[in-house]
């Protein structure tokens, strides 16, 4: 099924690029809670972060390896571009 429409004025709490411009495809990953001791230890661990990002990379690769997957995007968004 297709995703719903993008909100033009979504509620924004943080100055994060992924929240600033809903016209730019982006993903915001929540990898744990800083109030959870185990999650916080993982956030501080280079090994744990590498393992998490390897999992994310494998998921993206698997998605684009599907026969019915869309073509990979050609245009890259600039991290310095801000929503107007």
Both tokens of residue 62? 């698997």
Residue 22: per-residue pLDDT: 73
Asked if the model's pLDDT at residue 16 lies above 60, the reply is yes
Residue 5 has pLDDT above 60, yes or no: yes
Which pLDDT band, with edges at 50, 70 and 90, does 40 fall under? Answer: very high
Q: C-alpha distances in angstroms, 61 versus 6, 56, 64, 69, 84? A: 25, 9, 5, 11, 32
Q: Is the pLDDT of residue 84 over 50?
A: no
Name the more confident of 54 and 27. 54
Q: Percentage of the chain surpassing pLDDT 70?
A: 68
Residues 48-76: what's their mean pLDDT?
85
Report yes or no: 64 and 72 within 8 Å, Cβ to Cβ: yes
| Rounded distance between C-alpha atoms, residue 24 and residue 35, angstroms | 30
Cα separation, 53 vs 45, in Å, equals: 12
What integer pLDDT is reported at residue 64 of this predicted model?
82
């Amino acid at each position: 099924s297709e995703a719903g429409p993008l909100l033009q004025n979504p509620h924004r709490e943080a100055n994060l690029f992924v929240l600033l411009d809903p016209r730019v495809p982006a993903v915001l990953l929540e990898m744990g809670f800083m109030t959870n001791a185990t999650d916080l230890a993982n956030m501080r661990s280079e090994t744990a972060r590498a393992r998490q990002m390897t999992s994310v990379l494998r998921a993206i690769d698997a998605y684009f390896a599907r026969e019915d997957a869309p073509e990979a995007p050609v245009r890259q968004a600039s991290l310095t571009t801000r929503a107007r």
